[in-house]
Chain A
Amino acid sequence: MGPQHPSTHGVLRVVLKLDGERVIGSECVIGYLHRGVEKIAENRTYQQFAPYVDRMDYVAAVSNGLGYCEAIEKLLIVEAPPRARVIRTILTELQRIASHLLWLGTHALDIGALTPLFYCFREREEILKILEKYCGARLTTHAFRIGGLQYEAHDTFEKDVERFCKDFESRIVEYETLLTNNRIWIGRTKGVGILTAEDAIAFGVTGPVLRASGVKWDIRKAMPYAAYDQYKFEIPVGTTGDTYDRYLVRMEEMRQSRLICLQAIENVPAGPIMAKVGKVLKPPPGEVYHAIEAPKGELGYYVVSDGTVQPYRVRIRPPSFINLQAFDRMVRGHLVADVVAIIGTIDIVLGEVDR
């Protein structure tokens, strides 16, 4: 299957071993989108590399940027000012909703439900408009800078976010009306691609996939970063770890993200948006691992500094790459048609898998 199959969301080739219609083995062939991001990092300065990270998970560029900026801030031992942290949180949560919407639309489309795609893109468009208003870019945003933000939030920022959040509440209900009790949807997702909690942990799976397997773990709670420690939100978990549970978890996550945004815009602290960092960044020698809860799971940056202006090594731990590894475990014993559902439910972005 692939690498140009419409359901693989990019260039993923899956070699399937079949017994009739049943899958008895699989192997993912990846690397078609490999650009050597980690090598590029070693040949750029810390600031120069920042826009590159947007091109990994290109449907959630804001999250990539947040992880990178915070990792370098940890390396430099500086902290972004409170105002910057709150704005970062709002934008990242909006991005999470956008990413989940894209996932929902395409995942439903793969399984044969055409309508959700249009609904999802309608709302995603609103988020992209907010991002565009904020920083001028819709997808590869480069919204944050090491040390804080480059841009002050625009005048209508809070109002825009609030309006979106108000509308969005009823929109989620619309998607759920279409899918949650839909017999075809249930038939295609319930009991498909089950991943137990033990397996999920052994495979290093993170994010909604891990939570759907019943592990209540979210880095935003476990090791809070940005401004997450100030807000109240729930971590939704599943019970069986099948495709349907992963659907439910992500739906609930969108609701929670919406609540975080609403809490955050109520009280955006005033003050500077940049910490005092020099124009030339030379982090003291050493190393740091910093991870954030990206829409797809744990996005980690392991950065080694040798005291010069360029990183000595940047290792990016992409959630998609690691989660995709569990694909083989999830797909065995299922029908070929389910392969499409299972690829969709892991929510991979090949730009991030291949880097």
Chain B
Amino acid sequence: MADEPKEPQPAAVPTGEQPASKPSPVSGAPSAPAKPAAPPAPLKPPVVLQTPLNNEMVARYRVKFGAAIVDAIEDRKQAILVVESGRLEEIARYARDEEKFEMLTDLTAVDWPKREKRFDVVLNLYSFAKNERLRLKAQAADGEEVPSVVGVWVAANWMEREAFDMFGIVFSGHPNLKRILLPDEWQGYPLRKDYDILQQDTAWVRENLGIESGQ
């Protein structure tokens, strides 16, 4: 099967509008006619989940780095700092040394191809001292180099390699930036949104069997 809906499925139109109202099958919904109540009032209240974050910590960052702190948001009670990608390493070092986010839990990326700077480099930090998490995000354009944070946390080594492998983001200053999960000769970057999941299958079939793939 594996038919990839490029416009993620037309489910938006009829059925999907009752996210919270419909009783789940197991909780013993007694009768079927309970349903018609849901559709007329489409439960889509404009819940504001992302709110600007303005606490002391953000203030400290703003004082220290000024315009390099592009935005501070809270999403589902999780703190996010959007930072200028060029100063990522500096900010990361400050986060580790001054704000006591000693551990880099995760480093990854998200692709937004329609945006001018298509990639989000996302760092999830954890502080043992405060028992808190913080997410740093830096936007980067295709081909733009992002400073590596391996010098701040050794843990970033493999994580940045994975981000390079999957997205093609180049981390400047990385000691050994090469593919990690995929073979070195792999073409393309699979987690980019424009990398179709059937691409390599069809290419393989064409090359090795000399026919067009039926998929």
Contacts and interface: CB of A to CB of B under 8 A. Distances in A.
Interface of A: 30-31, 34, 36, 38-40, 42-43, 45, 74-78, 147-148, 150, 152, 201-204, 215, 217, 222-223, 272-282, 284-289, 291, 298, 300, 302, 304, 306, 308-310, 312-313, 315, 317, 321-322, 325, 354-355
Contacts, number: 151
Contacts of A355: 181
A74 B78 CA distance: 11
B142 to A, nearest CB: 17
B103 A291 contact: no
B182 to A, nearest CB: 6
A322 B156 CA distance: 9
B20 interface: yes
9 contacts: A31-B182, A34-B182, A148-B24, A277-B19, A279-B15, A280-B11, A286-B50, A288-B76, A302-B106
Contact of A310 (B8, B24, B122, B159): B8
Interface of B: 2, 4-5, 8-9, 11-12, 15-16, 18-28, 47, 49-50, 75-76, 78, 80, 102-106, 108, 110-111, 122, 124, 128, 131, 133, 135, 153-155, 157-159, 166, 179-183, 190-191, 193, 195, 197
B75 A287 contact: yes
Contacts of B193: 42
A280 B131 contact: no
A76 B75 contact: no
Given A272-B27, A308-B9, A282 B124 contact: no
A85 B64 CA distance: 43
A299 B111 CA distance: 22
A40 B21 CA distance: 29
B23 A223 contact: no
A221 to B, nearest CB: 10
A75 B104 contact: no
Contacts of B5: 43, 310
Nearest to B152: A202
B154 A289 contact: no
A30 B197 contact: no
B197 A43 contact: yes
A148 B25 CA distance: 12
B123 to A, nearest CB: 11
A309 B11 CA distance: 7
A54 B84 CA distance: 37
Contacts of A152: 26
B128 A217 contact: yes
A343 to B, nearest CB: 16
A317 B105 contact: yes
Contact of A201 (B25, B103, B110): B103
Nearest to B7: A308
A291 B197 CA distance: 28
A317 B76 contact: no
Given A203-B154, A278-B21, A288-B75, 17 more contacts: A30-B180, A31-B180, A43-B4, A150-B26, A201-B102, A204-B105, A217-B128, A273-B27, A274-B24, A280-B11, A282-B16, A300-B106, A309-B16, A313-B111, A317-B124, A322-B159, A355-B181
Q: Counting chain B CB atoms within 10 Å of each CB, which of A42, A222, A287 scores highest?
A: A287
Given A280-B11, A286-B75, A274 B26 contact: yes
B103 A204 contact: yes
A89 to B, nearest CB: 19
Contacts of A222: 131
A325 B197 contact: no
A34 B182 CA distance: 7
A161 B122 CA distance: 41
A39 B76 contact: no
Given A39-B191, A150-B26, A325-B158, A284 B16 contact: no
Contacts of B179: 31
B19 A281 contact: yes
Nearest to B24: A274
A223 B180 contact: no
Contacts of A291: 105
Nearest to B137: A287
B151 to A, nearest CB: 11
B22 A276 contact: yes
Contact of A273 (B26, B133, B166): B26
A278 B105 contact: no
B19 A282 contact: yes
A289 B74 CA distance: 12
